[in-house]
Amino acid sequence: MGWRAPASIHTRLTLWYTSVLLITLLVTSGFSYWLLTLALAQDVDRALLGLAEVIREAVAADRAPETAEAIADSEFRDQFVQVVDAGGAPAYLSRGLKGQTLPLSAAAREGARRGRPTLETVQVGRRHLRLVTLPVLRDGRPSQLVQVGVSLSRSHRALARYAETLVILVPLGLALAALGGALVARKALKPVDEMSRTARRITAEHLARRLELRGTGDELDRLAETLNEMLARLEGAFAEMRRFSADAAHELRTPLTALKGGLEVALRAARSPREYREVLVARLEEVDRLIQLAEDLLLVGRSGAEPASRSPVDLEQIALEALDIGAQLAQPRGVTVRMEVGEPVTVLGDAAALQRAVRNLVENAVKFTPAGGLVEVNVDSRNASGVLSVRDTGPGIPPGDVERVFEPFVRLDAARDRESGGAGLGLSIARSIVTAHGGTLTLETALGRGSRFTIHLPAATG
């Protein structure tokens, strides 16, 4: 079983914070303990040297025993004085030593020979002592040695007490800080909890709900704002989807009702085989339109997605194929179709989808242009984009409807009357195909003078 990180940010934050604090406390405690050790040692040495200095002067003036006793007795029970002659034999021992002698090391002798004091830490019996050895100079030569020792037990006690304090204070401080940290983290993250609770209540049916802003303008407010914007977009998309399904159902119901009506009329009386045939042929046309509509609906669903493939596509080739189909439609209607190519241009995309988009434009142009009119397809390259436009001399589109015609199921009144009118999906399919290819489809039109639909697509480079 492996260790797993705690689930909530606030627990993790608290753990992190506490660990960092623990390390900080340990480092500062260790450092302060070390500094105290140094300071105590310095104090002891300084006091010891001062004392040894006083006794040396007393020895030089032959007042050693009185001075030493006075000092040792008065305040410092744990201080010991020893005077040694040049040969190393003890000349005086303070009472506190109780007959024991202080050790005289080779280093201390050497120091004395050079006229310098020597500081050492030694063990006498069970006591640890700090010991200073100081020469008494007569005629420039050390005649006697003054040794003053002080027990280190006081310093050790002080250090031990400090360590005890740390052992209590560090965990206590850590516990308090962890508690405080946990409270702060919980308070700071409370809005996040609230946000997720609200977000959980937002479903597809309640997309109008929004996360509450606290007005602090901080990161959490910005997050809530971003989420709210996303919700608004989702709400819009859902509404559009709902509208689309309703429109689609409506579009399907009309021809199906007509079909049913026709069949019911045919069944109402006995008919001759020829009559039946006529009815069936007539209904077949409706079935064809239904199939076309179903295919278009499928296409609308798919056309907004990323192109299935992205290969180099020659725009001129696309225009030619669309024009071919347009010409077949145009001929019986007495409409002329023609094409003009400026600079040839290649774009990256799904040839079949682009073909479909252009075909929709050309078919519309032919469909809505009266006999004697002209439909012209233009291919050119401009500012690193491929431009394909379809112009006609048809009725044009009222200015108020220029954007509307790209919406699904929108047919203008004039077109709705016509038998040839489609479901109003052609332009919306064309636009979503072009947009999915990173391009734009725009319309310029003047009532009574015609329309021009223009596709801009990023040209393939290299």
Q: By CB neighbour count within 10 A (0-12 exposed, 13-18 middle, 19+ buried), where does 75 fall?
A: exposed
Stretch that binds ligand ADP, among 195-203, 259-267, 339-347, 404-412 (CB under 6 A): 404-412
- Count of residues interacting with ligand ADP (CB under 6 A): 22
Residue number, 129 or 410, with CB nearest to ligand ADP: 410
Instruction: Check if the beta carbon of residue 180 is closer than 8 Å to that of residue 122.
Output: no
- Cα 292 to Cα 279, 289, 299, 344, 431: the distances in Å are 20, 5, 10, 33, 19
Q: Quote the CA–CA distance of 124 and 149 in Å, as a whole number.
A: 10
Closest separation in Å from C-beta 412 to ligand ADP = 3
For residues 331 to 360, the per-residue mask of contacts with ligand ADP, x marking binding by CB under 6 A and - elsewhere, is -----------------------------x
Contact characters 442-461, ligand ADP, x per CB under 6 A: ---------x----------
Residues 418-437 close enough to bind ligand ADP by CB under 6 A:
421-428
Neighbours of 433 (CB within 10 A): 28
Q: Is 392 in the site for ligand ADP (CB under 6 A)?
A: yes
Interaction between residue 365 and ligand ADP (CB under 6 A): yes
Judged by CB under 6 A, which stretch of 106-114, 249-257, 313-321, 416-424 contacts ligand ADP? 416-424
Say how far apart CA 345 and CA 457 lie, in whole Å: 10
β-pair partners for 151: 129
CA distance 432 to 426: 10
**Residue at token pair 């623990």:** 22
Considering only residues 252 to 281 of the shown chain, the ones binding ligand ADP according to CB under 6 A are: none
d(C-alpha 389, C-alpha 80), whole Å: 113
**What are the strands, taking DSSP E only, across 94-251?**
118-124, 127-138, 141-151
Strands 440-446 and 79-85: unpaired
By CB under 6 A, name the one of 96, 181, 386, 394 that touches ligand ADP.
Answer: 394
3-state DSSP assignment of residue 437: coil
Segment interacting with ligand ADP, rule: CB under 6 A, options 106-114, 173-181, 378-386, 394-402: 394-402
Q: How far is the CB of 453 from ligand ADP (least distance, A)?
A: 7
- Tell me the C-alpha distance between 82 and 393, whole Å: 128
48, 322, 337, 397: which one contacts ligand ADP (CB under 6 A)? 397
Using CB under 6 A, which of 29, 118, 133, 364 touches ligand ADP?
A: 364
Give yes or no for residue 373 binding ligand ADP (CB under 6 A): no
Based on the shown chain and the rule CB under 6 A, indicate whether residue 439 belongs to the binding site for ligand ADP: no
Q: Which residues bind ligand ADP (CB under 6 A)?
A: 360, 364-365, 368, 392, 394-395, 397, 405, 410-412, 415, 421-428, 451
